Amino acid sequence: MGAGIAVGPGQVLTAHYLVLGASAVEVTALDGRANRTQRIVLDHESGLALLTVERPELHPATLAINGAQPGMPIFLLTCTGEQERRGATGHVTSVGPFEAFWEYMLDDAIMTTAVNPGLAGGPLLDGQARVVGVVSLGLAAVARYSLAIPIDLFARRRALLESNEPMPAEERRAWIGFYPQGQEGGIAVTGVVPGGPADGAGLKRGDLVLSVDGQTVDSLRDLYLMLWRKRPGQTVDMQILRDETIRVVEILTGDRYEFYR
């Protein structure tokens, strides 16, 4: 379950992991009426998903492009179930880089002091009730309680998401299907996606990543920037430390859009 934002008469925007792998999604409106989706479009790069519903009767929210600034007051709206809505208030603490352990990175993530009292995917709004972001994650850090994906990303990629064509090849990043975690002493592999490229190449939980294609990586950002120089279907050589032995794992990168189709 999750929340969503009407961005068109028949369009709902939400966090993509809420519908990842779903063959069907049901959207329940404020009045309790259920509305099935005709189309689900995932955007793995932004972390957003655009749903097209069967009955285009929604009232779109107003979007505030480039609206989030440190210090500005914000509020968020969400739900805890089909009929219960909740909100929270706070301030934007920062707008900047964020890296996550599922091959995901944002340049302008919105960090706030608001604690999300319900489900993810709802709107982060400014003082004029304009959407500045999509609430994605809860964070257990002082002054960084909620993270939102900037609505600017949706605005820039909207034409791609609304198109009936597959995501263009130039928009697709190489994907290996693993969960790297930055820690003292390097980047550790905390798991792999079953059946994904890393799993097939023999990468294992507990491996310590030392370099990618011969270049040392010291952070998740370094790691992702190195990986994303490649396109799906290209090979990447990852030097790892396992059981006090350095070895090189050759991985044929995959296409996340095809894997989760």
* pLDDT for the residue numbered 200: 97
- Per the domain annotation, does 248 fall within a domain? yes
d(CA 227, CA 209): 12
- Per the domain annotation, does 227 fall within a domain? yes
- C-alpha to C-alpha distances, 70 to 169, 179, 185, nearest whole angstrom: 35, 30, 32
pLDDT in tens, 51-85: 999 888 889 999 999 889 999 999 999 998 767 88
Contact 42, 112 (CB under 8 A): no
- Per the domain annotation, does 35 fall within a domain? no
- Please indicate, yes or no, whether residues 135 and 204 belong to a single structural domain of this protein: no
State mean pLDDT over 121-125: 97
pLDDT in tens, 172-224: 999 999 999 988 778 999 999 999 999 999 999 999 999 999 999 999 999 99
- Per the domain annotation, does 44 fall within a domain? no
Strands 245-252 and 73-79: unpaired
- Please indicate, yes or no, whether residues 153 and 180 belong to a single structural domain of this protein: no
End residue of a domain, out of 119, 136, 159? 159
State mean pLDDT over 223-251: 96
CB atoms within 10 A of CB 78: 22
**Who wins on pLDDT, 154 or 141?**
154
- Please indicate, yes or no, whether residues 155 and 208 belong to a single structural domain of this protein: no
CB atoms within 10 A of CB 130: 15
Residue 4 banded pLDDT, cuts 50, 70, 90: very high
d(CA 40, CA 184): 39
- Smallest Cα–Cα separation from 203: which of 229, 225, 228, 177? 177
Q: Residue 223 belongs to what domain range?
A: 172-259
Average pLDDT over the chain, rounded to an integer = 93
Say which CATH number the domain at 230 has.
Answer: 2.30.42.10
- Per the domain annotation, does 106 fall within a domain? yes
- Please indicate, yes or no, whether residues 134 and 203 belong to a single structural domain of this protein: no
- Per the domain annotation, does 115 fall within a domain? yes
**Predicted confidence (pLDDT) at residue 104 exceeds the cutoff of 80:** yes
**Predicted confidence (pLDDT) at residue 144 exceeds the cutoff of 90:** no
Say which CATH number the domain at 104 has.
Answer: 2.40.10.10
End residue of a domain, out of 122, 138, 159? 159
* pLDDT for the residue numbered 252: 98
Residue 141 banded pLDDT, cuts 50, 70, 90: low
Contact 48, 123 (CB under 8 A): no
What is the total count of domains within the chain?
Answer: 2
3-state secondary structure of 160: helix
Strands 245-252 and 186-192: unpaired
- Per the domain annotation, does 94 fall within a domain? yes
Q: Is the pTM of this model over 0.85?
A: yes
Helix (H) or strand (E) holding 156: helix 151-162
